[in-house]
């Protein structure tokens, strides 16, 4: 049984759908529990997976109201555990993992907790942080996406039994809605970025870096795919920099694989990352990447100087501009990195990643 807040988009949500599909195809009985209903789903669940909706997504707030809301979630989740009798419960992300451990106390089911973002970058309350320190040592296993996150948990949540399992690269890329056709390039080059329009994704830094190199590479354009609360601020930044003809933000697209295939270079400007599914997808599509060497994530995917570039120091627009300029200006280097980038199809294959999950499921 997989427990997650919703399937409304995001890396952990995609992984929940992929894991449930894989396990149900292997003959396991699989259920997926969400707080939110299916109306906002971005990812399609395998029809063989039982969907259970708690209906508690709207229950929120701080103080006593928040405590009561979460107590209600635990009570409803415990009722489901008693009824469905899962042998194993997988909590996806921090709060779902904590709620699962609490709900399973005294019941004959194993609980695996997971972290899909690097904890120092999270904005969870002190109460949830204390609950994590209580819950994770009581889980059978805590799975981190990266060795950097595992090291943080080892130091800050003592007693956790840790495993590192990265996300697999989704290949071939699925196509969903909305389908937005990439515009014809007419011989121009395309620098591509993909992600939520959120402060943590560093698109403001990327725009500053692109502004620095745009004059020197007049045949290159920047496309940022994704949607989020920073759209208006980013559009203002584009306008102020005089880049309205060179930078576009088409929004979220369901055919991102086509955009990877029709671009020339990928850039990841994140301030923090978990692992970065988009980086894996871009490299699998044959794009050389340039990425900030933030605390976790890109350094466990990119082999610097072999299949891409890791930019130091992180969050430095000048450093990012320099590395982008190097890749944009040297086609041979860009193509050599792109040829080796596709190795992620083997390094992060479903077979390899699911073998790691099978070890955790067997209790090894």
For residue 303, what are the contacts with CB-CB under 8 A and spacing of at least 6? 340
The token pair that represents 145 in the structure block: 């996406």
- Pairing, β 88-91 against β 50-53: unpaired
Nearest-Å Rg of the Cα atoms of the chain is 21
The token pair that represents 39 in the structure block: 């109306």
How many C-beta atoms lie closer than 10 Å to residue 300's C-beta?
17
For 189-347, the fitting CATH number among 3.40.50.1370, 1.20.120.1200, 3.40.50.2000, 3.90.550.10 is 3.40.50.2000
- Between the CA of residue 243 and those of 173, 213, 233, 247, 259, what are the distances in Å? 31, 11, 14, 6, 20
Across the beta sheet with 141-144, what order do the strands follow? 50-53, 31-34, 2-4, 88-91, 110-115, 141-144, 162-164
Which DSSP string do the residues of 16-67 spell out, in sequence order? HHHHHHHHHHTT---EEEESS-GGG-SSPPPTTSEEEE---TT---SHHHHH
292 within 8 A of 298, measured Cβ to Cβ: yes
- Tokens 């959120």 map to which residue? 198
Helix or strand run (H / E) with residue 15: helix 11-25
User: Distance (Å, rounded) from C-alpha 157 to C-alpha 135?
Assistant: 9
Q: Where are the domains of the chain?
A: 2-168+349-361, 189-347
The token pair that represents 232 in the structure block: 């208006």
Fold matches, 2-168+349-361 and 189-347: yes
User: Distance (Å, rounded) from C-alpha 119 to C-alpha 75?
Assistant: 26
For residue 188, what are the contacts with CB-CB under 8 A and spacing of at least 6? 219, 220, 221
CATH, range 2-168+349-361: 3.40.50.2000
For residue 191, what are the contacts with CB-CB under 8 A and spacing of at least 6? 210, 220, 221, 222, 223, 263, 264, 265, 266, 267, 324, 328
- Tokens 């899909």 map to which residue? 116
Model pTM score:
0.89
pLDDT in tens, the chain (364 residues): 999 999 987 788 989 999 999 999 999 999 999 999 999 898 889 999 999 999 888 766 667 787 888 999 999 999 999 999 999 999 999 999 999 999 999 999 999 999 998 998 888 889 999 999 999 999 999 999 999 999 999 999 999 999 999 999 988 998 988 999 999 999 999 999 999 999 999 999 999 999 999 999 999 999 999 999 999 999 999 999 999 999 999 999 999 999 999 999 999 999 999 889 999 999 999 999 999 999 999 999 999 999 999 999 999 999 999 999 999 999 999 999 999 999 999 999 999 999 999 999 887 6
């Amino acid at each position: 049984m997989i427990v997650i807040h919703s399937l409304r988009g995001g890396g952990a949500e995609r992984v929940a759908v992929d894991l449930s599909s894989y396990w149900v195809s292997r003959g396991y009985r699989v259920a997926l529990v969400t707080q939110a209903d299916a109306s906002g789903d971005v990812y399609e669940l395998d029809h063989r997976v039982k969907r259970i909706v708690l209906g508690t997504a709207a229950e929120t707030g701080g103080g006593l109201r928040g405590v009561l809301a979460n107590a209600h979630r635990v009570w409803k989740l415990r009722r489901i555990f008693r009824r469905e009798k899962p042998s194993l419960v997988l909590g996806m992300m921090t709060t779902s993992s904590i709620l699962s451990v609490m709900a399973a106390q005294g019941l004959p089911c194993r609980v695996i907790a997971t972290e899909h973002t690097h904890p120092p970058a999270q904005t969870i309350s002190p109460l949830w942080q204390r609950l994590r320190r209580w819950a994770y040592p009581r889980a059978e296993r805590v799975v981190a996406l990266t060795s950097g996150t595992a090291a943080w948990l080892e130091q800050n949540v003592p007693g956790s039994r840790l495993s590192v399992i990265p996300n697999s690269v989704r290949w071939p890329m699925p196509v969903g809605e909305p389908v937005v056709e990439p515009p014809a390039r007419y011989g121009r080059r395309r620098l591509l970025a993909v992600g939520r329009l959120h402060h943590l994704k560093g698109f403001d830094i990327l725009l500053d870096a692109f502004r620095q190199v745009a004059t020197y590479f007049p045949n290159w354009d920047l496309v940022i795919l994704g949607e989020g609360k920073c759209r208006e601020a980013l559009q203002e930044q584009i306008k102020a920099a005089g880049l309205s003809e060179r930078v576009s933000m088409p929004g979220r697209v369901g055919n991102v694989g086509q955009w990877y295939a029709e671009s020339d270079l990928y850039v990841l400007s994140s301030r923090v990352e978990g692992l970065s599914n988009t980086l894996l997808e871009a490299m699998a599509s044959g794009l050389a990447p340039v990425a900030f060497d933030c605390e976790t994530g890109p350094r466990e995917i990119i082999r610097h100087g072999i299949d891409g570039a890791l930019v130091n120091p992180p969050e430095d627009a000048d450093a990012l501009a320099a590395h982008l300029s190097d890749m944009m200006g040297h086609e041979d280097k860009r193509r050599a990195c792109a040829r080796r980038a596709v190795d992620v199809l083997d390094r992060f294959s479903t077979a390899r990643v699911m073998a790691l999950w099978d070890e955790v499921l067997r209790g090894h």
